[in-house]
Structure 1
Amino acid sequence: MDVMDPAVLRRVTAALRDARPVPYWLDDPGRPGALPALTGDERCDLLVVGGGYSGLWTALLAKERDPGREVVLIEAREAGWAASGRNGGFCAASLTHGFGNGLARWPHELRNLEALGERNLDAIESTVARHAIDCAFERTGEIDVATEPYQLDDLRERYEQATRLGLTGLEPLDRDAVRAEVDSPTFLGGLWDRRGVAMLHPARLAWGLKRVCLNLGVRIHEHTPGLELARSGASMAVRTPHGRVFARQVALGTNVFPSLVKRVRPYTVPVYDYALMTEPLTPEQLSAVGWRRRQGLADGGNRFHYFRITADRRVLWGGYDAVYPYGGRLGAGLEHRPETYRRLASHFFRCFPQWEGVRFSHAWGGAIDTCTRFAAFFGTAYGGRVAYAAGYTGLGVGATRFGGDVMLDLLAGERTERTELAMVRAKPLPFPPEPAAWAGIGITQWSLARADARGGRRNVWLRTMDRLGLGFDS
C-alpha cells in the first residue's frame, strides 16, 4: 500500500473536497425517465433479463434478425445504471481482454478472434451512426504506455507477436514519440492501437440502445428484477415481484449479479473498480500536456490505470485498486472508498504534474464481474431454451454486442463462425468456495503488487496460476 507524504495528502484532499460521490456519466440532465415496472403476466418469444449493454444489445439484435419476434426486456433498476453506466467509456475491438490474454488462451484462433472483434466494433460504430445515438463516439484508438523499463519489453514483445500473426494497426512509440502525443514525465514508451478502440459516453450509449430497442418494438419493464427461473410447460417462466414472464426462450445478461442459472454462479466473482473525473480543463491546461488526438491510455502495470479525455474536456482517471468482497457479496458499502480516491488522486498528479491544482468533480466505484480467464464465457441451460453470457472483466463495452450475437446463435441452435470458436465452446475454471476464494484472490493481489515493485518478476504463486489458467485481473 502506498505511504502518502503529508504534503501530498493535503494536496489530494483539497483536490477531492468537492467531488460528488456519483458516477459522472449518470449525473446527466439528459438521463431518461424510468419505464413502468411489470404488473401482471407477460408472454413473449424472447425474454431478455438485464438492461445493461449485454441485455440491450441482445434485444436489439434479436429484433434486427427477426422484426416479428416478440421481445421483452426486464431490468431490476434502470437501463445502464450499473457497470454499463459507470465505466471508463473504452469501447475495444478485443473480444479476449487484450491481445496477450487471447494469445495465451486461444493462439490458434486468435487471428479469427481479432477479425471478429474488428467487425464487431465496426458494427457498433455503424449502429451508433444509423440510429443517431448521441454518445460522443470517437475512433481515437488507445495507447498502452510503459512507465517502468520492464514494460517496454512487454510492449515490444506484443508488437512482434502481433506482426508475426499478420495483425496490423499497432504503432510502437519511443519515449519522445509517446510524449509528443501525451506528455507525462512517467512515460517511457508506448504501443498505439490506432483503430481498435473508440472512446464514448457509456451511459448515453446505454440510453441510446434503450431508445432504439423501444423503437424496434421491444417491451421494456424497469424496476422489475427477475427472481426465479423455471420451466412452465413448453416455455420458460421468470418470476418478478408483481408478475411472471412466460417466454419460449430466455437470454441472461445479468453479468455481475447472481445468475438465475445457479450452476453458473461459481464462474464469476465481483470486483470493485474506482474512478475519478476532473473538472473541465482550460485550453491552456490541455496544451500543457498535448493529448490533441484524444486517445485512451492505460499503463502497463498489473495494477494499472486507465485514463481518457471526455467531450467536455475533463479527464477520467481510474483503475489500480481492485477490491473483492468476501463471499462475493454485493453492497453499497464498497461503492465509495475514500482511501482509493486519495490514492488515485496522488497517482494522477504524479503522472501529470502540469495539472497541479486541478480539482475532481466526481468520484465513484462499482462492481464488475470477472472470471478466471478474464474474457467472456457462454452457455445454455434448460435444454437450450436459456442462454447466458458473463465474465467480461471490465472490457464489455464492445464485447457485449458480440456476446448478444453468441446468445442468439445458441438459442437458435445454429452452427456459426461464432459458436464454433473454442472461446465459445469451453468455459473457464470456476472459482473455489470460500474461504479458499478469498485467500486465493488475496494472495494473487499481493503477488501482482509485488511483481509491479520487482520489475515485473512473477513469483511462484503467479507462475502456478498461469500454468493452471487461473488468476485475478486488476
Structure 2
Amino acid sequence: MGTTVFERQKPPASVIAHSLEHTARSVFWLDDLPEGAVGGRPKLTGDHVADLVIVGGGYTGLWSAVLAKRRNPGARIVLVEAKSIGWAASGRNGGFCEASLTHGDGNGTARWPKEMPTLHRLGMQNLDAIEAAEAEYGMDFHFERTGMLAPAIEEHQVEWLRDWHAEAVKQGDEGVVFLDEAAVQASVASPTYLAGVWEQRTNAMVHPARLASELARVAEDLGVEIFEHSPVKRIDTPGSTGAVSVITESGRVDAAHAVLATNVFPSLLKRNRLMTVPVYDYVLMTEPLSEQQLADIGWKDRQGIGDMANQFHYYRLSKDNRILFGGYDAIYNYGRKVRAEYENRPESWQKLASHFFTTFPQLEGLQFSHQWAGAIDTSTQFTAFFGTARDNRVAYAAGFTGLGVGSTRFAAEVMLDLLEGRDNERTQLEMVRKRPLPFPPEPAASMGINATRWSLDRADHNRGKRNILLKTLDALGLGFDS
C-alpha cells in the first residue's frame, strides 16, 4: 500500500503546534458579520395566519421566502427558525457557490445522463441569478466569479484530469482549461501540484454568513415575517381545513402551504428521517496574509480549490486575504445525532494544519485565527432530493451533501413550483421526481458508512483503485460523501 503526499512531505510538529497556538474555536464568517446583523428578531408567540410558512432560516428557507415574495408580492409569508438566521451550515461553510446541481458532472452523468444538458444549463442560469441578485436587491455577500481549480496531487490523478479536459473539449466547453505542472504552479505555487483543471465560470466564492444575513434583510424588506429561537415541535395537517399548522412551544402558524428547509436536522416528516445522515466537516481559517506571503503563493485569479483525492481538501481566499482550509475528515457519529460536542475534534484540526503546510510550505510561521466545524446533510445520491407531502400542502428539499450554497436557490424554485402545481422544466426532471434510497437504520448505517470511509482512504493510498465495496456501491448508485 502506498502513501499520500501529505505523509511523504509532512511538516515538522513544531510548525503545526505554532500555527494552532492562538486559534479561537469560533466561526470566522459569523464573527465577521457587521454589527447588528445577527439575531434581534422576536420569538414566535401566539397564533398567526399566513399563505406560506417556512421552517428553517438557512439558505433554502431564505431563498424560498424571497422568491415566493417575488412570485406573489401580496402573499403573507412567515419564516420560523430554531436558533438564529444562518447559524448552522449556511453560516459556516466554505463559501463555494457552484453551478452544479448534481454534486459534479460525474455524479450527475452516472444518475441522470439524459438530463445532464438541461441540468447543466439550469445550474448555470441559477448561478447567474445569484450573481445578479447582488445588484437586483442591493446585497453585498462578496460574490467573486473565480471558477474552480482542481489540482492533481498524486501521479495517477493527472490522467483523470486529462480525461476530464478531453470530455469538456468534446462537449465544446471552452471554459475548462488544462494546466500542466508548470502552468498550475505558476497559477498557485504549491509544490504538491502536478497538473490542474480550471473550470473558469462554474463556481463563485461568497461570504456565506453575509449571504444568509443579506437574504434575511431582503426578505424582511419585502414583507416576510421572521421569527428566531422558535424550534418547531410538529406540523399538523387537519384533513378538514386544507391548512398546515406549524407548532412551536409558544406559538403556531396556520398557513395554506409549508416549506420544510431543515437541512441536516431531523425531519418533521417521518418519511424523510432515514434519508440523510449528518457528516461533520472541519475547517481552519488563517490570519490575513501579508503582501509578501501572497506573492509567495501567487493565486492571483483567486479560484476556489478542491483537490482530486477521495478524502479531498477545499480552500479559498477571503476578501481580506485569509486562507480557509477545510475538508479531508468527514466524520459520522453513531446514531444520526446533531450535537455541539461533535464539533470539537482537535485531531482533525491538527491534521488539516499539517496538510496546509504540506500544500504551502512557504507559509511556515503563519497562524490560524479560527477553527470550527459543522454538520452536512448527506444523501445517498450526493445531492438534494425533493418532494411534497400531506396532500401537496408541504414541500421539502434536503440532502445537499456539502454543495448547497448555490443549489439551495434552485431547490427553493422547485419547492414553490411543486406547491403551485406547476408542470415545467424543473418539476419534470427525474432528479426532482424520484427519491433516492434511504440510509439504513443503526447499527447498519454506522457500519456501512465507516467501512466506506475506510475504503476511500485505502483507494487514496492505492493509486485511486476502488475495492469491491466501492465498486458495488458505484453499481448500485449509493455512496457516502461530504
Q: Scaled by the length of structure 2, what TM-score is found? A: 0.96
Cα distance in 2 for residues equivalent to 1:11 and 1:196? 35
Q: Give, in angstroms, the shift of residue 130 of structure 1.
A: 1.7
Query: Could you say which residue in structure 2 is the equivalent of 1:143?
Result: 149
Query: Could you say which residue in structure 2 is the equivalent of 1:268?
Result: 276
1:51 pairs with 2:85: no
What is the SS of the residue equivalent to 2:319? coil
Pairing 1:416-427 to 2, within 5 Å after superposition:
416-427=424-435
Query: Could you say which residue in structure 2 is the equivalent of 1:320?
Result: 328
What is the SS of the residue equivalent to 1:136? coil
Q: Give, in angstroms, the shift of residue 5 of structure 1.
A: 10
Cα distance in 1 for residues equivalent to 2:437 and 2:301? 40
Query: Could you say which residue in structure 2 is the equivalent of 1:429?
Result: 437
2:24 paired residue among 15, 20, 26: 20
Query: Could you say which residue in structure 2 is the equivalent of 1:384?
Result: 392
Q: Give, in angstroms, the shift of residue 434 of structure 1.
A: 0.6
1:408 paired residue among 416, 429, 449: 416
Query: Could you say which residue in structure 2 is the equivalent of 1:156?
Result: 162
Which shows bigger deviation, 5-14 or 31-40?
5-14
Query: Could you say which residue in structure 1 is the equivalent of 2:90?
Result: 84
Q: How many pairs align?
A: 474
Counterpart contact for 1:111–1:165, Cα < 8 Å:
no
What is the SS of the residue equivalent to 1:135? coil
Cα distance in 2 for residues equivalent to 1:117 and 1:456? 29
Counterpart contact for 2:264–2:375, Cα < 8 Å:
yes
What is the SS of the residue equivalent to 1:277? strand
1:252 pairs with 2:260: yes
Q: Give, in angstroms, the shift of residue 156 of structure 1.
A: 1.8
Which shows bigger deviation, 455-464 or 256-265?
256-265
Query: Could you say which residue in structure 2 is the equivalent of 1:206?
Result: 212
Runs ≥4 residues deviating over 6 A: 1-7
Query: Could you say which residue in structure 2 is the equivalent of 1:181?
Result: 187
What is the SS of the residue equivalent to 1:429? coil
2:407 paired residue among 374, 391, 399: 399
Q: Give, in angstroms, the shift of residue 473 of structure 1.
A: 1.1
Pairing 1:119-138 to 2, within 5 Å after superposition:
119-138=125-144
Cα distance in 1 for residues equivalent to 2:269 and 2:438? 14
Query: Could you say which residue in structure 1 is the equivalent of 2:119?
Result: 113
What is the SS of the residue equivalent to 2:423? coil
2:80 paired residue among 61, 74, 81: 74
1:338 pairs with 2:346: yes
Which shows bigger deviation, 158-167 or 396-405?
158-167
Q: Which amino acid aligns with 1:240?
A: T
Cα distance in 2 for residues equivalent to 1:167 and 1:11? 42
Counterpart contact for 1:306–1:317, Cα < 8 Å:
yes
What is the SS of the residue equivalent to 1:37? coil
Cα distance in 2 for residues equivalent to 1:29 and 1:139? 21
Per-residue CA shift, 1:406-430, capped at 9, x if unaligned?
Answer: 0000001111100001111111110
* 168 and 425 in structure 1: CA distance in 2 versus 1, 3 angstrom threshold: farther
Per-residue CA shift, 1:34-82, capped at 9, x if unaligned?
Answer: 3001110111000010000000000100000110111100000111000
Q: Scaled by the length of structure 1, what TM-score is found? A: 0.98
Q: Which amino acid aligns with 1:151?
A: Q
Cα distance in 1 for residues equivalent to 2:39 and 2:413? 28
Cα distance in 2 for residues equivalent to 1:178 and 1:143? 9
Q: Which amino acid aligns with 1:25?
A: W
What is the SS of the residue equivalent to 1:203? helix
Which shows bigger deviation, 339-348 or 23-32?
23-32
Cα distance in 2 for residues equivalent to 1:89 and 1:43? 35
Counterpart contact for 2:39–2:228, Cα < 8 Å:
no
Cα distance in 2 for residues equivalent to 1:329 and 1:143? 34
Per-residue CA shift, 1:278-318, capped at 9, x if unaligned?
Answer: 00110000100101111110100000000001100100000
Q: Which amino acid aligns with 1:235?
A: A
Query: Could you say which residue in structure 2 is the equivalent of 1:194?
Result: 200
Cα distance in 2 for residues equivalent to 1:28 and 1:312? 11
Counterpart contact for 1:274–1:321, Cα < 8 Å:
yes
Counterpart contact for 1:100–1:158, Cα < 8 Å:
no
Query: Could you say which residue in structure 1 is the equivalent of 2:460?
Result: 452
Q: Which amino acid aligns with 2:219?
A: C
What is the SS of the residue equivalent to 2:85? coil
Cα distance in 2 for residues equivalent to 1:106 and 1:162? 18
Query: Could you say which residue in structure 1 is the equivalent of 2:70?
Result: 64
RMSD across aligned C-alpha pairs, in angstroms?
Answer: 1.5
Query: Could you say which residue in structure 1 is the equivalent of 2:383?
Result: 375
What is the SS of the residue equivalent to 2:311? coil
Per-residue CA shift, 1:415-468, capped at 9, x if unaligned?
Answer: 110000111111111001110000000100000000000000000000000011
Q: Which amino acid aligns with 1:319?
A: G
Counterpart contact for 1:9–1:342, Cα < 8 Å:
no
Q: Give, in angstroms, the shift of residue 132 of structure 1.
A: 2.2
Cα distance in 2 for residues equivalent to 1:54 and 1:82? 12
1:104 pairs with 2:110: yes
Q: Which amino acid aligns with 1:306?
A: Y
Q: Give, in angstroms, the shift of residue 128 of structure 1.
A: 1.5
Cα distance in 2 for residues equivalent to 1:397 and 1:251? 18
1:461 pairs with 2:465: no
Counterpart contact for 1:50–1:76, Cα < 8 Å:
yes
Show structure 2 runs of 5+ residues with no match: none
Cα distance in 1 for residues equivalent to 2:403 and 2:64? 17
Pairing 1:257-296 to 2, within 5 Å after superposition:
257-296=265-304
Cα distance in 1 for residues equivalent to 2:90 and 2:166? 34
Show structure 1 runs of 5+ residues with no match: none
The sequence identity of aligned pairs, in percent, is: 55
Counterpart contact for 1:142–1:192, Cα < 8 Å:
yes
Cα distance in 2 for residues equivalent to 1:145 and 1:129? 33
What is the SS of the residue equivalent to 2:395? strand
Q: Which amino acid aligns with 1:397?
A: V
Per-residue CA shift, 1:234-260, capped at 9, x if unaligned?
Answer: 201011010111010000111100111
Query: Could you say which residue in structure 1 is the equivalent of 2:369?
Result: 361
Cα distance in 2 for residues equivalent to 1:153 and 1:104? 20
Cα distance in 1 for residues equivalent to 2:161 and 2:384? 24
Per-residue CA shift, 1:16-40, capped at 9, x if unaligned?
Answer: 1111101110112513333001110
Q: Give, in angstroms, the shift of residue 7 of structure 1.
A: 7.3
Q: Which amino acid aligns with 1:185?
A: P
Cα distance in 2 for residues equivalent to 1:106 and 1:154? 21
